[in-house]
Homo-oligomer: A and B are copies of this chain.
């Protein structure tokens, strides 16, 4: 006689085309959170998810208003009273798609090529949300629950927190968790927004970097000037910007802000040994990035630099004339977007103060400087051996036949720290995206065989955690 897991997996295997169609449908909504023009698409994506939760037999579904984009909330009741509760986290917003001309197919018309599905959000993270919903649908179907049932035959209670502003740093998430804390209370959070190291290496993430993101704007002359008629008499704000930004690193790539590394938790010998066992390493980084050479803080491997060391990056530069040909302009303004990735125990607010002070102290009187905070999210580190991670490790082992790897992730998932801080809730961090999925870049993709395995893994997980 087959187990409920086996029945659910059988259902999932038979219904792959329907799951894929549902993902394509969600991917067609250009829910770009950073662009106010796409706000209606944010609302459409939220409604799409609310409808899906109803279809799964949710006892209650709400689109919760926040100070920013709405949160989709819902609740699926366990078959057995007293079962534990899992909060499923996801974000339904996506990154912008420019430069559009580098996409090989329409970013919002998901296209299958080889074994991958190409679309903005396919991997980050609409694919991960739809995989979770597909796992729950399979569990419900295998339990024999009818569409009209209130209780869906689930082994655990499931709640949802699906936000719409992760790609802009989740500015109103912390206040929303406070405001709706009753609704989000659970034993643990499943967060499938991190990825795998390779298709053959299921991965659990136990540490995330924080993010502090800024826009720096310098103004010199009141308007663009002729570089012949005025060049030499006034300071060029683009020069000042380059000097200020160049002054943030030393020649070895270390950030030079005073105190920047003071709170960085050093890696233990044991953890470095474990991280060194992760496959890929420097060669993999070279291949994935296509960079001529690797570069970074001396004394650390690429895996360590990305996972356990903080960085400060320029994300964008704009000044003066950038079209074709020559325009002899002395620009009135110069703009940079810069962001730091933070590791435990750095504090984003403290980093913000350091950066503000740096620009205040070093901007000459020949220009004015304005720094706007666009995101502030702290870093996170979790216990590798907690109940959630154990349930997930078993699920991954069951599907892949190998023990999962534990890794530190270079990206930022502010929700996990907020949940820990507000509700004492641990997060289980995983996901079925791959390093070459082109997240935040043109031609984002999702590896479909890995995605199908992900659905099976989540079926196991919801049973294991019960």
| Interface residues of A, Cβ cutoff 8 Å to B | 33-36, 95-96, 98, 102, 167-169, 209, 211, 213, 220-236, 238-239, 241-243, 245-247, 249, 253, 285, 288-297, 302, 305-306, 309-311, 313-331, 334-335, 337, 339, 341, 364-368, 374-375, 409-412, 435, 438-442
Interface centre among A232, A238, A315, A441 (most CB of B within 10 A): A232
Q: A321 with B337: in contact, given A233-B294, A438-B223 (CB under 8 Å)?
A: yes
A85 CB to nearest B CB, Å = 29
B296 touches A233 (CB 8 A): yes
Q: Give complex CA distance A16, B449 in Å.
A: 78
26 contacts between A and B (CB under 8 A): A35-B323, A96-B323, A167-B326, A221-B291, A224-B441, A227-B311, A227-B339, A229-B306, A229-B409, A230-B288, A231-B306, A231-B410, A233-B285, A233-B305, A234-B285, A238-B317, A239-B246, A295-B366, A313-B330, A314-B320, A315-B330, A316-B321, A316-B329, A317-B317, A321-B337, A322-B335
Task: State whether A317 touches B318 (Cβ < 8 A).
Answer: yes
Determine if A325 and B233 form an interchain contact, defined as CB atoms under 8 angstroms apart: no
**Contact indicator A326/B339 (Cβ below 8 Å):** yes
* Closest-CB distance, A7 to chain B (whole angstroms): 37
Interface residue from B228, B253, B365 paired with A410 (Cβ < 8 Å): B228
Which residues of the partner chain B approach A293 to less than 8 Å between Cβ atoms? 235, 365-366
With A241-B242, A306-B233 given, is the CB distance from A315 to B321 under 8 Å? yes
Q: Chain B contacts of A249 at CB under 8 A? A: 239, 243
Q: Which chain B residues lie closer than 8 Å to A242 at the CB level? A: 241-243, 245-246, 314, 317
Q: Are A325 and B292 in contact (CB under 8 A)?
A: no
The reply to whether B323 and A320 contact each other, CB–CB distance below 8 Å, is no
The answer to whether A221 and B331 touch across the interface, beta carbons within 8 angstroms, is no
Contact A317 B319 (CB under 8 A): yes
Task: Say yes or no: B315 contacts A95, CB within 8 Å.
Answer: no
CB–CB B315/A328 < 8 A:
yes
Q: Is the CB of A318 within 8 A of B315?
A: no
Q: Please measure, in the bound complex, the distance between the C-alpha atom of A329 and the C-alpha atom of B236, giving whole angstroms.
A: 26
Are A290 and B322 neighbours in the complex by a CB distance under 8 Å?
Answer: no
Contact of A315 among B96, B222, B290, B331 (CB under 8 A): B331
The chain B residue sitting closest to A337, CB to CB, is B321
Report the separation of the CA atoms of residues A35 and B411 in the bound assembly, to the nearest whole angstrom.
41
**A411 to B328 alpha-carbon distance, docked (Å):** 9
In the complex, A80→B211 CA distance in Å? Answer: 80
Instruction: Verify A229–B320 contact, CB threshold 8 A.
Output: no
Picked from B226, B238, B316, B325, the residue with its CB within 8 Å of the CB of A331 is B316
- Asked if A440 and B329 make an inter-chain contact with CB atoms under 8 angstroms apart, the answer reads yes
Cα–Cα, bound, A35→B316 (Å): 25
Question: Chain B contacts of A290 at CB under 8 A?
Answer: 221-223
Question: 4 tightest A-B contacts by CB?
Answer: A222-B290, A228-B411, A34-B325, A232-B305
Decide: B226 and A291 in contact? CB cutoff 8 A: no
A370 CB to closest chain B CB (Å) equals: 13
Given the complex, which residues of B lie within 8 Å of A168, measured CB to CB? Answer: 325-326
Q: How far is the CB of A168 from chain B (nearest CB, A)?
A: 5
Q: Which residues of B contact A247 (CB under 8 A)?
A: 246
A320-B316, A440-B224 known; A325 and B374 CB under 8 Å? yes
Residue of A35, A229, A323, A364 with most chain B CB atoms under a 10 A cut-off? A229
Q: Given known contacts A306-B230, A409-B228, is B318 in contact with A322 (CB within 8 Å)? A: yes
Which residues on B sit within 8 Å (CB–CB) of A34? 323-327
- Which B residues lie within 8 Å of A329 (CB)? 315-316, 440-441
B440 & A314 in contact (Cβ 8 Å cutoff)? no
The answer to whether A327 touches B440, judged by C-beta atoms less than 8 angstroms apart, is: yes
Closest partner residue, chain B, to A214 (CB atom): B326
* Alpha-carbon gap, A367 to B233, bound state (A): 33
